[in-house]
Each structure stands twice: as structure tokens, then as C-alpha cells.
Amino acid sequence: MSNSKETTQKLTYETATGEIEFTLMSDMMFHYVMQRSEKALTGLVCALKGISPSDVKELLVTNPIDLNSTGKETIMDIKLTLNDNEILNIELQVYPDKYWISRSILYLCRAYDNIGKSENYSSIKSTTLFCITDQELIKGAEEEFYAKYRLTNIKSHSLYTDKFGINVLQLNHTDKATKEDIDNNLVYWAELFKATTWEEFKALAKNHPDIEEVGTLIFELNYDNQAKEILEGQRRYR
């Protein structure tokens, strides 16, 4: 990446003000920042799963991106393995998509198909697709802040399996958050995603070194000419 030295000498993350052109709601920005900041990624995963950081022994991004060789069609979902026994797929959905339900099921099934022909079925890893969105993706659905979808028996509502599911974090419905959502820091993360100015982001990041690191990475890409061209190309493509 190529930096604009004159600009960055005048501005830093700490002194930046006004609108953030490319926020965490840019899927390429989100992917790049999360793969660079292990602490922030761990915090997000813990919030989405409702677990403690001490439960995370290993968190591996299996599809890292390289901004120097990224094309506009690059898939921006973040694919992770957690503790070598669980697959997580985190995606941002910031545009309307009438086929989202079909697409999300397809992506989940592809991720769940994670063993070779000669491997035992017992080695299949639990798989969850996490969608972070500001869109109304499911028409007629009850408004929820954090919805979890699983295979269940239609009559008894008993769970068929918890190894296969889709969770949707609806950023526009923080007013529907439960105490559990708040305690798990999901509302905090929702506010980070929705922050559109440096003032908003820095207020949220204060006293959170991992999020301050995220802010620094966002700043670096917003003031890097080459990175901005890539981000703009991705935005136009979407």
C-alpha cells in the first residue's frame, strides 16, 4: 500500500475528525481489519457466540485477503476456525438481496461440508453463519436484534442439531436487544459498526486498546491512496 505522506503527517487516528469515508460497514475494510487485529476479532467472536475470551484457545482466519492482489469480485466473508473444532463464517450484508435466504443456506452448507471422502462423519465441525446487517433480509419476520435460526421439529420445536445454524445481527434494532445481548457486548459492537464519524468511533474506543487498534487500521486505509482505490472499486462493484 502507498501512503500519502503529506496527509498522514498532518492527521493521525487521534486527531482525525469528521466523517469516516470507509467504515467497518465496508466489507473489505471489515475483513482486512479483523484479520489484522486478533484481539478485536476475538472480541467480536466472543460477542456473537456469547463466550468468554478464555474460551478461545485458537482463532484462525482461513481466507485472509491481500489488498495488493485483491480484485473487486473477491469474496469478503471472513471464514474462521475456532479451537480447531468449529467453523465460523462472518459476513456483512449492507445491500438489499432478495435471494439472501437461499444464498445464506448455500454458504452455510458449503462451509458445513468440511470433511474429505475418507474421513469419518464424527470429524464434521459445527458450523455457524453470522450475518451482520442493516437490511431487512427476511420479509415478515418479527423484529429482533439478534436472531438465531436452527433446524427444529415443526410440531414439538425440539432441536434437531445445534451444529448447523445461522445467526443474524440486525444493526437497526438495538432497541430490541436483550440483557444477554448487552452483557455479551453485542450492542457495543453494533454501535462500532454504525459509527460514521471519527468522533463517534473514538468515543466508543476510549479505554478499549483493541478497538483503538481497529481505529488506527481504519484510519490507515482511509488515508492510503492505493487502499482507497481498492475500497472504492469494491463499493462500485457491489
Distance of CA 177 to the CA centre of its chain: 18
Does a structural domain hold residue 129?
Answer: yes
Domain range enclosing 128 = 20-195
Does a structural domain hold residue 72?
Answer: yes
What is the pTM (predicted TM-score) of this model? 0.91
Does a structural domain hold residue 179?
Answer: yes
Does a structural domain hold residue 8?
Answer: no
pLDDT of residue 40: 97
Does a structural domain hold residue 4?
Answer: no
**Nearest-angstrom CA–CA distance, 113 and 125:** 9
Q: Count of domains in the chain?
A: 1
Percent of the chain at pLDDT > 70 equals 91
Does a structural domain hold residue 233?
Answer: no
Angle 100-106-107 from CA coordinates, rounded to 5°: 85
Q: Give residue 142's identity as a one-letter amino acid code.
A: E
Does a structural domain hold residue 2?
Answer: no
**Nearest-angstrom CA–CA distance, 229 and 218:** 14
Convert the pLDDT of each residue in 126-177 to its tens digit. 999 999 999 999 988 899 999 999 999 999 999 999 999 999 999 999 999 9
